[in-house]
Amino acid sequence: MNGFIVLAAHRSGNTLLLNSLGSHPQVQCHKKVFTLNIVIKRLLILDRSNSPFYKFRIASLKRRLDYIFRKKQLINDFMTELCTPPDGVKAVGVRVIYAQANKHPEILEWAIENDVSIIHLVRENSLKTLVSSATAQKRGLSHSTSRVEPVTIHLSPFKLKLQLSRLTSQIEKYRTLLKDKRHLVISYESLVANREAEMRRMLEFLDIDQFVPMTTDLVKLNPDTLEDIIENYDQVKQALGGTAFEKFLD
């Protein structure tokens, strides 16, 4: 088995990374494996009924009981089956978003205990991660293969500081968890600026010798300048000034 996990925050470039890696003929990537429904924010989060993991865990009475009493073994069996490469494929990857890793910590336990490769994708500018999430929600569109009309958003400065604190804490939590484990940190910013070099690093990490130009048909949805997106940019700038989050401003 040559499986790997791509661990990342929501809206941090993981689709770009997985599409690019998945364009390699020897790599297969699974994106929507542990998708969740947030019923009550941070209180009630359920597996979506159309997700591969949900379908796996309800497929028999034994698995339903395993999910309650032997969840670690159930996820072990699921991940081992999912990450076993078919003929012609050398590496099989699974996307795991922080919220999914929080709900099912057994996923990373399986990876660490089995010395499975973990690519930790980090968008260094957490403010842009939150802006990306807000613009995607306003558009009703997360990704596109063609140009879209620009949108602007209004951010609550108080709420924004709480969100930034929560997101940066999550990033540090997983940096600490993966310390001294088999993993590779990839910066979203570096991936965008130096895609070929970062792809070579990832292929080498996955023990894939053959390099082919890897592509994606996704286009960038938002401009780089936050002032062009945030309607109340001056308020946000004032609220973040003098805090640890000031570095995320343009």
pLDDT of residue 142: 83
CA distances, 21 to each of 154, 193, 221 (Å) = 35, 16, 21
Please say if the pLDDT value at position 26 is more than 80. Answer: yes
DSSP designation for 153: B
| 43-52 contacts at long range (C-beta below 8 A, 24 or more positions apart) | 45/99, 45/103, 47/103, 52/82
> How many Å apart are CA 31 and CA 116, to the nearest integer?
17
Token duo for residue 59: 């497929």
- Superfamily the domain 3-248 falls into: P-loop containing nucleotide triphosphate hydrolases (3.40.50.300)
Please say if the pLDDT value at position 1 is more than 70. Answer: no
Please say if the pLDDT value at position 225 is more than 70. Answer: yes
Query: Where along the chain do its domains lie?
Result: 3-248
Please say if the pLDDT value at position 171 is more than 90. Answer: yes
Query: Are 145 and 218 spatial neighbours (Cβ–Cβ below 8 Å)?
Result: yes
Question: Of 136, 130, 124, nearest to 188 (Cα)?
Answer: 124
- Where does the chain show beta strands of DSSP type E? 3-8, 27-30, 36-40, 44-47, 91-97, 117-122, 183-187
Please say if the pLDDT value at position 236 is more than 80. Answer: yes
pLDDT band, residue 42 (cuts 50/70/90): low
The percentage of residues in the chain with a pLDDT greater than 90, rounded to a whole number, is: 82
pLDDT of residue 143: 83
pLDDT tens for residues 84-98?
Answer: 999 999 999 999 999
pLDDT band, residue 214 (cuts 50/70/90): confident
pTM reported for the whole predicted model: 0.93
